[in-house]
Structures are given as structure tokens and as C-alpha cells.
Amino acid sequence: MSSKKKKKEPTEIEEILESSRRDFLKKVGIVGAASVAGGAAIYSGYQFEKAKKHEEIVKVLTEDNRLVEIPRDQMKDYKPDLKVLQKRGRKGIEGKRWVMVIDLSKCRNARKCVGACQAAHHLRPYEYHINTLVMQESANTPEYFMPKPCQHCDNPPCVSVCPVDATFKRQDGIVLIDNERCIGCRFCMAACPYSARMFHWREPVAAGQDQGNEYNVELNVPQKKGTISKCLFSADRLRDGMLPYCVSACPNGVFYFGDENENAVTNGTTKETVNLKELLEQNGGYRLMAELGTKPRVYYLPPKNRIFEFKKGPDTEYKEIT
């Protein structure tokens, strides 16, 4: 009876023992969990430290000319923001005076220059920074093809008339348009005798695809509705030490491009670099409508000694895309 009774009613000692056992188990559980967690943390920390030891350190030259070391995984590609793009875009590339020479005797109207330009600047097939025209001075003189980019005049009528400094002349001779500034008055179009400028009458063709991209004044992309666009001498490519899009795309060696200060121009097709002055002198170089006093930076070589037959292709019909 008593044992039964004992079983049913534990003594005080038993109670104490029982509770301490529960306590003990609880504590063990906590300690166990904690040590597993701690171990994992230590392990991962160890792994991290180990990985760091094998991390490659790279030497980087900073903007202020300091050579510094940073781990490779902390490197980020530099993407200039709008402020930087605008500042350097308006300033231009120091020490350069860009110049283009177009050899009309070689142009077969391949229009590769046009296509490359339109692809780079996100334009419709009939929106031109460069257009190739069929020219004829008089009934007795032959027809010829003439690629016509912006002439990047040294006395640019477009820049003179702009009311808000949206179009401007840079120190390297390039005339650019800032579509963050342009109010769309089109005075520059009225003033340009070369019809070099175009206007975004509607939403630009790549507006959706370009949305959110930082505006680069040297590429004029993203294009903007209600603003002007024009040939930029591929200022973005020049910054990267490359020839303009049209110059590189030409299959017939029509374009030479280079720096007037160096007196050297490079042919975009053959990659041959020649003396600018000699090229102009030996081939009778001239500028379009020099009598207007605009002082273009684009020179033309006359269409003489053409080694191919002048052949006008079938007229392409351009339909407006809305």
C-alpha cells in the first residue's frame, strides 16, 4: 500500500530531482543548439577567411594617379552617371581637332555608313545623321554619290541661333546636341544650310528599349521626343580611341578620319593612315558651300577617276513609321 502510495505521491526529494532533471535536459538542449550554431559560424568564418587568402588583389590606378590595391571581388565596372557624361561630353577631348575627308570618287552608294549610324543611334530608316545623296552640278557634269554627315562647322550657324545652349561647339571641333536641354524650337534646323539636323516628331523608335538608360550626350541615346538629333562624329567612339561608326562601316574606302593637329587621317576601310594636307592637296580637296563662311570640318575629294560605273539603284520607298 505504502509503495503504491509512494509511487502516486512522490517525496519532496523526488520532486526536486525530477525538476532538476527537466532543467538539465533543457540546458543541455540549449547548449547543444548554441554550440552547433556557433560551430557553424566559426566554420563559415574560417571558410571565408580561407577564401580571402586565395582572393586575387588587383592594382588599380585611381583618377588622381595613385596606384592602389583592391580585391578583385570588390571591383565594379565604372559606369559614368549623367553628370559625368554631360561634363565630359560638353568639354570634348583635349588636344584634338577632329576632321573628316570624304572621297567621292570611291562612293558607290552602299549606304553601309547610313545603316551603321542608324543602328548606333537608334534611328528609323529615314532618320539621318548621315545620308547619301545623288548629286549633279549641271546637266553636262556627271552624277555622283555624296555621303553627307553634319559638317561640324567652325562657324556653325546652328550654334549661333540656339536660344538655350543646347547645341554647342566643343574644343575638339565637334558640334553636339544636348537633348536634356533642347526645347525643340528648331531654329538650328532653319539655320543649317546643309540640312544636317533631324527632329523627333514622334516618340523615338527605340524609346521603350532605351528607357531608364543614362543619357550619353556623345551618342545622343536615348533619343528624346520633341528634341533635335544630329551627327556627332561618333564622339563616344572617339573617346574610346575608335573610328566613327560610318567610317568603320564603309566597304569602299570612302571615309578618312583623324586629327587635324596631327595632320593625319585614317581610312576606315583600309586602316591606312595618310598625311591630311597631302591628301587634300593631291586630290583637290574642297568644302561644301565654302562661300557661306561656315568653315566645315568635313572635306570632300572630287568624284574624279572613278573606277566603277555610276549606277543608281532602284529607288527605295520610305514609309513613315508612327
Partner 1 sequence: MAGSVFSSEKYREKLDLISADVLKNVGISRGFIIWMGILFAAFAACIYAYTIQLRTGLGVTGLRDVTSWGMYIANFVFFVATSLVGMLISCVLGLSGATWVKPISRIAEIIAVAFAAVAGLVIISDMGRPDRLPYVFLFGRVQSPILWDVSVVTTYFVLSLLLWLFPMIPDLAVAKGKLQGQPEFLSKAYNLLSFGWIHNEKQYLIIGQGVRILLILIIPTAFAIHTVTSWLFAVTPRAGWDSTIFGPYFISGAFVSGTAAVIIAMYFFRKSYNLDKYLTDSHFDKMGKVFILISILYIYFNINEFLVPGYKLKAADAIHLRELFAGEHAFLFWGVQLLGLIIPVFLMLFRRIRKPLPMLFISIVMLAAAWLKRYIIVVPPQAHPYLPVQNVPVEWVVYKPTLIESLVTLASILLVLIIITLLSKLFPVIPIWELAEEEAKKELKET
Q: Which stretch binds partner 1 (CB under 8 A): 49-57, 99-107, 197-205, 275-283?
A: 197-205
Q: Is 316 in the site for partner 1 (CB under 8 A)?
A: yes
Which residues neighbour 35 within 8 Å (Cβ) at sequence distance 6 or greater?
Answer: none
Footprint on residues 153-172 left by partner 1 (CB under 8 A)? 157, 160-165
**With respect to partner 1, which residue has the nearer C-beta, 38 or 125?**
125
Query: Using CA atoms, how far apart are residues 140 and 132, in angstroms rounded to an integer?
Result: 21
| One residue of 60, 190, 242, 290 binding partner 1 per CB under 8 A | 190
Q: Is 100 helix (H, G, I), strand (E, B) or coil?
A: strand
Q: Which stretch binds partner 1 (CB under 8 A): 47-55, 83-91, 261-269, 311-319?
A: 311-319
- State the nearest-atom distance from the C-beta of 293 to partner 1, in Å: 9
Q: Is 104 in the site for partner 1 (CB under 8 A)?
A: no
Which residues neighbour 264 within 8 Å (Cβ) at sequence distance 6 or greater?
Answer: 258, 273, 274, 275, 276
**Count, residues near partner 1 per rule CB under 8 A:** 48
Best CA proximity match to 247, nearest among 239, 263, 258, 236 = 258
* Helices (H) then strands (E): counts for the chain: 10, 13
Q: Which stretch binds partner 1 (CB under 8 A): 57-65, 68-76, 178-186, 272-280?
A: 178-186
Q: With beta carbons less than 8 A apart as the criterion, state whether 100 and 259 touch.
A: no
Q: Is 198 in the site for partner 1 (CB under 8 A)?
A: yes
Q: With beta carbons less than 8 A apart as the criterion, state whether 218 and 192 touch.
A: no
Q: Is 242 in the site for partner 1 (CB under 8 A)?
A: no
Q: With beta carbons less than 8 A apart as the criterion, state whether 111 and 246 touch.
A: no
- State the nearest-atom distance from the C-beta of 225 to partner 1, in Å: 5
Retrieve residue 287's grid coordinates.
568644302
Which residues neighbour 83 within 8 Å (Cβ) at sequence distance 6 or greater?
Answer: none
Q: Is 292 in the site for partner 1 (CB under 8 A)?
A: yes
What does the per-residue mask of binding to partner 1 show for 199-228, with x meaning CB under 8 A? xxxxx---------------------xxxx
Q: Is 189 in the site for partner 1 (CB under 8 A)?
A: yes
Query: Using CA atoms, how far apart are residues 218 and 84, in angstroms rounded to an integer?
Result: 12
Classify residue 90 by burial, with Cβ atoms within 10 Å: 0-12, 13-18, 19+: middle
- State the nearest-atom distance from the C-beta of 296 to partner 1, in Å: 13
What does the per-residue mask of binding to partner 1 show for 246-285, with x meaning CB under 8 A? ----------------------------------------
- State the nearest-atom distance from the C-beta of 140 to partner 1, in Å: 16
**With respect to partner 1, which residue has the nearer C-beta, 29 or 142?**
142
The DSSP secondary structure of 134-189, one letter per residue, reads: EE-SSTTSPPEEEEE-----SS-HHHHH-SSS-EEE-TTS-EEE-TTT-----HHH
Q: DSSP H helical segments within 244-312, as ranges? A: 245-249, 276-283
| One residue of 126, 209, 272, 281 binding partner 1 per CB under 8 A | 126
**With respect to partner 1, which residue has the nearer C-beta, 106 or 197?**
197
Instruction: Point out which residues bind partner 1 (CB under 8 A).
Output: 126, 128, 131-135, 148, 157, 160-165, 181-187, 189-191, 193-195, 197-203, 225-228, 288-289, 292, 294, 316, 318-320, 322
